[in-house]
Amino acid sequence: MEAQESDASFAVAVEVHQPHATHPFGAGLATGFALAALLVQTYFIHAVGPYRQMYREFSGAELASVVPPLTALVISPAWLWTVPVAGAFGIAAVVWRRPRALWPYLLVAGALVATVVVTWAFFDAPISALAGNIK
């Protein structure tokens, strides 16, 4: 018996993996800013407590009647606890999904930086306004 030649061909499987992000440096930078803002916002949980107590002691009335509405919002426990939790979920979502576009990273970082700026600007706004009246 003669050995028959096989017409079988050999195929080599090649997988091409696309990079997850088209801007890996920008995505990493935005994630770093988001994490830094998250740490600052988490610190506000501890730092704003004495302000809330001080505002209550000013008048002995309900907090909402003593301070402006935005100040009442940013010193409320709901804001102070919800923003870091939502921010952590936002960061986890972009890190887990690793979108190719840069805008989801920038959106999460921008939102967290904005919440830090709003919290910082309004939690001591009544004190700043009062200090401006001292002569």
pLDDT tens-digit profile of 98-133? 888 889 999 999 999 999 999 999 888 877 777 766
Question: Under a CB-based contact definition with an 8 Å cutoff, are residues 126 and 51 in contact?
Answer: no
For residue 120, being part of any structural domain is answered with yes
pLDDT for residue 15: 74
pLDDT at 55 over 60: yes
The tally of domains found in the chain comes to 1
Please report whether residue 1 resides in a domain.
Answer: no
Question: pLDDT band for position 9 (50/70/90)?
Answer: low
The answer to whether residue 16 sits within a structural domain is: no
Domain span including residue 67: 24-132
Residue 94 counted as domain residue:
yes
